[in-house]
Amino acid sequence: MLELDQLVMDFSGFRAVNGCSFNVEQGSITALIGPNGAGKTTLFNLIAGALKPTGGTIRFLGEDVTGASSDVLFHKGLVRTFQIPHEFHRLTVLENLMMVPPGQPGENLFSNWLSWGSVKRHEAEVERKAWETLEFLELTHVAGQRAGELSGGQKKLLELGRTMMTDAKLVLLDEPAAGVNRTLLRKLEEKILILNRERGYTFILIEHDMEMIEKLCHPVVCMAEGRVLIQGDFQTVRSDARVLEAYLGETAGDAA
């Protein structure tokens, strides 16, 4: 589904991503792990179109999308969750879902805006979909609450919900477990799994929570110093000496 080939990203002389290559299979949940400064966020920015790579290529669904903007990628079904924008904090949870840009991936953005009747139909469809999303995420009880008043975990669920409003194919999740209490974390994991298994979403997660990674992710890709160190199943990656060294700054023998 996604093919990264020798990606490079330089920031005024500093090479943050240094020849990264790996593939993401359709239907997988891939974890991107690595110590601080490994280049994970920069790689996400490249995949999501927020940065243009200095070198290398990105192919999505067989098409070369290297350097394509996040807007173009969004309409192809490649979506990254972002924190709810500050100015959306005063809007209700339902409104936050309904504010997701109109147009589904692959659709003509303006096809729904030809007549007043179609505008109303479109609005009704968006609202129906927003309620369906709230039900799926078990957030109907906070539909009328301001987004800024939600708990950290509820905000993460809402971010996932905003992604669901787009019928995304490949979703990039940036540290979904960060700041989420254990109970909501279980719910978030369960929803990600359902979206993956039953609705066909493919995910890439940057995550530090090893429990979540073990439960959800295959494969696990570990980066260090801008490169892919190793990829494979959770157990293989976790017990690899190079990974321990990268995280601990010492050899596996020293760490034991």
Contact positions toward ligand ATP, by CB under 6 A?
Answer: 11, 14, 16, 34, 36-42
Nearer to ligand ATP, 131 or 247 (CB): 247
**Contact criterion met (CB below 8 Å) for 39 and 20:** yes
Residue 34 beta carbon to ligand ATP: minimum distance, rounded to whole angstroms: 5
Nearer to ligand ATP, 166 or 209 (CB): 209
Residue 242 beta carbon to ligand ATP: minimum distance, rounded to whole angstroms: 16
Copy the structure tokens of residue 2: 């996604």
Reduced DSSP (H G I as helix, E B as strand, rest coil) percent helix, strand, coil of the chain, to 5: 40, 25, 35
**Cα separations in angstroms, 181 against 135, 153, 160, 187, 209:** 21, 7, 16, 10, 12
**Radius of gyration in angstroms for the set of CA atoms belonging to the chain, rounded to a whole number:** 19
Residue 208 beta carbon to ligand ATP: minimum distance, rounded to whole angstroms: 7
Nearer to ligand ATP, 147 or 223 (CB): 223
CA 102 to CA 122: how far, in whole Å? 9
Nearer to ligand ATP, 38 or 158 (CB): 38
Residue 175 beta carbon to ligand ATP: minimum distance, rounded to whole angstroms: 8
Nearer to ligand ATP, 137 or 205 (CB): 205
Three-state DSSP state, 217? coil
Residue 221 beta carbon to ligand ATP: minimum distance, rounded to whole angstroms: 12
Nearer to ligand ATP, 36 or 183 (CB): 36
Q: Which of 214, 191, 198 is nearest to 137 (CA)?
A: 191
Residue 134 beta carbon to ligand ATP: minimum distance, rounded to whole angstroms: 31
Copy the structure tokens of residue 55: 């070198």
Pairing of strands 55-60, 78-80: unpaired
